Amino acid sequence: MSKKRKRHSPEQIVAKLRDAEVMLNSGKDLAAVLQTLEVCEATYHRWRNQFGGMKSEEAKKLRELDIENARLKRLLAEAELDKAILKETLRGNG
């Protein structure tokens, strides 16, 4: 039986990491914490590496910057393609 994949916002991830830290400090073992958070161990460790120590505003800003970066990369790729097409056209007419 596989669980349905769930996407978490950066704010939700930061909140879950904060909850996990509280539970771990109160003496719960990692397996119980992971079960409560409903995530696997690999996800927990990936989140800690990526979002550990962040505030939710910082995580939201990081996500916004990632989206903007992807948009700019797409625009650059399109511009480079247009430039290559123009060069090829000029070479054919010359």
Confidence of residue 53 (pLDDT cuts 50, 70, 90): confident
Which position has the higher pLDDT, 2 or 16?
A: 16
pLDDT score at 83: 95
**Structural domain spans, the chain:** 10-93
Query: Per-residue pLDDT for 72 more than 90?
Result: yes
Q: Is 72 helix (H, G, I), strand (E, B) or coil?
A: helix
DSSP state of 4: P
pLDDT score at 86: 93
Computed over its alpha carbons, how large is the radius of gyration of the chain? 22
pLDDT score at 71: 97
pTM over 0.95: no
Nearest to 37 by CA among 55, 56, 51, 18: 18
